[in-house]
Amino acid sequence: MIVLSGLVPGLVVCSCGCGADSSDPVDVRSSSAVASPSQPASSDRLASPVAVGELLPSPKAREQARAIQSLRAAGIVVETNGVEEAVLASFEDGAIGVSNGRKLAGLETLETIQLWNCPDADDGLVELLSGLASLRVLAIRGGRLTDACFDSLSLSPALESLNLGNSAGLTGDGVAGLLGRGRIKRLYLDRTALSDSVVEGWPVTNSLEMLNVNHTRLGTKSALRLREFAGLKSVFAVEAGIAAGEVATWRVARPECLIYDGRERP
């Protein structure tokens, strides 16, 4: 067996007999193709591509391996990238546990976390997860969050999409500070205690593109405020307390924004 290394970082190319004459030359100028052993030796024979193996786990992946294995054993889905670094974690319909929460917070390459109907998902867990430098998407629905979680979330360095729907303990107080950071593009606050008085305090200058306020307690004041958000491309306000006439006026004022309230086709 001839082992060639150093051609492409992280790759190893092996050439073994398999019926070929061991005296046949091996072209080391290309790591993506070798001469087919079934063809006669000639200067013009065509090269055929062969598999050269997979990328090895990165040093970061090796550090994460034990935690990933433990989380998977607990029923938490953890997906990895091409070098075995954790990029997505998902769990539903069960308690996460303090230990597993800490393990999730230790997977610093995570980009997406989705926790559905986890009764012990609280402000403390959010504080841990908010420190993840690569976290872009966070969804925690059906937990026991309070408005205190927005203080932690406002410090999350890369967060773009936040889904805290179906959280009765949230009034939205603190969202203004989160939006003021200018990073959040997608925000889900459906089935929360969000109200007009809170939305009125949201900064007009923000990066928000999509907002879901289905099944909340909004009204005319919220519609007037949200109408000023120039970057909004879609709003979902089914049974949000906003009158049909206000929605119609909003659509005229912002024709580039899709506003769906469930009463008619937008």
Q: DSSP per residue over 163-188, as a string?
A: E--S-TT---TTHHHHHHTS---EEE
| Dihedral (CA of 113, 120, 108, 86) sign | negative
Helix axes 98-106, 59-73, angle to 10 degrees: 160
Q: Please check whether residue 101 is in contact with residue 125, taking contact to mean a CB–CB distance below 8 angstroms.
A: yes
pLDDT of residue 10 exceeding 80, the answer is: no
Q: In what side-by-side order are the strands of the sheet with 137-141? A: 77-80, 86-92, 112-116, 137-141, 161-163, 186-188, 210-212, 234-236, 258-260
Q: H or E segment at 67?
A: helix 59-73
Query: Distance from first CA to last CA of the chain, Å, rounded?
Result: 67
- How many residues belong to the chain? 266
Percent of the chain whose pLDDT exceeds 70: 78
Cβ neighbours for 59, distance < 8 A, ≥ 6 positions apart: none
**Between these two residues, 263 and 212, which has the higher pLDDT value?**
212
Task: Please tell me the number of Cα atoms within 13 Å of 160 on its side-chain side.
Answer: 7
2: buried, middle or exposed (CB in 10 Å: 19+, 13-18, 0-12)? exposed
Locate the DSSP E strands across the chain. 2-5, 12-15, 33-35, 47-49, 77-80, 86-92, 112-116, 137-141, 161-163, 186-188, 210-212, 234-236, 258-260
pLDDT tens column, 136-181 = 999 999 999 999 999 999 999 999 999 999 999 999 999 999 999 9
pLDDT at 18: 40
What does the mean pLDDT of the chain come to?
85
Round to whole Å and give the CA distance between 239 and 23.
78
| Three-state secondary structure call for residue 143 | coil
Between 20 and 212, whose confidence is greater? 212
Distance separating alpha carbons of residues 173 and 146, to the nearest angstrom: 9
**Per-residue confidence at 54, pLDDT binned at 50, 70, 90?**
low
> 56 burial class (0-12, 13-18, 19+ CB within 10 angstroms)?
middle
* Separation between Cα atoms, residue 161 and residue 76, nearest integer Å: 21
Q: What whole-number distance in Å separates Cα of residue 83 and Cα of residue 87? A: 11
Specify the pLDDT at position 4: 41
Give the global pTM: 0.78
- Confidence class for position 57, pLDDT limits 50, 70, 90: very high
Q: Which residues in 52-197 belong to E strands, given as ranges?
A: 77-80, 86-92, 112-116, 137-141, 161-163, 186-188
What integer is the mean pLDDT of 227-241? 97
pLDDT tens column, 34-52 = 334 444 444 444 444 534 5
